[in-house]
Amino acid sequence: MLSDALDHLVRGIVDNPDDVTVRPRAQRGRNPRYEDRAEMLEVRVNPDDLGRVIGRSGRTATALRTVLQALSGQQNIRIDFVDVDRRR
């Protein structure tokens, strides 16, 4: 549900909505003590849209995180914004 909401919001912001993908991602190196601490969502966008999604001084990204936090209730959410050309 949260990934669908984030997908809808991001597609409304970007110029290339077909390049947007939102998927849950496992956090590496997590401490088992904090296993239920946060859900991580990874947003991949076209490189031309990355600045638009992050916004000036990160305001758009912060707003997206705030909306998802409100939708999730008390669940912690972490969102990573990645351009589609980024290599790991």
Averaged pLDDT, 20-26: 87
Cα 74 to chain centroid, rounded? 17
pLDDT in tens, 34-88: 555 668 899 999 999 999 999 999 999 999 999 998 998 877 788 888 876 754 4
Cα–Cα nearest to 60, from 17, 18, 12, 24: 12
Q: Please, what are the domains in the chain?
A: 2-27+36-83 (3.30.300.20)
Note if the pTM is more than 0.85.
no
For the segment 15-22, the average pLDDT, to the nearest whole number, is 93
Which pLDDT score, from 0 to 100, does residue 30 have?
A: 57
- When pLDDT is averaged across residues 10-18 and rounded to a whole number, the result is 94
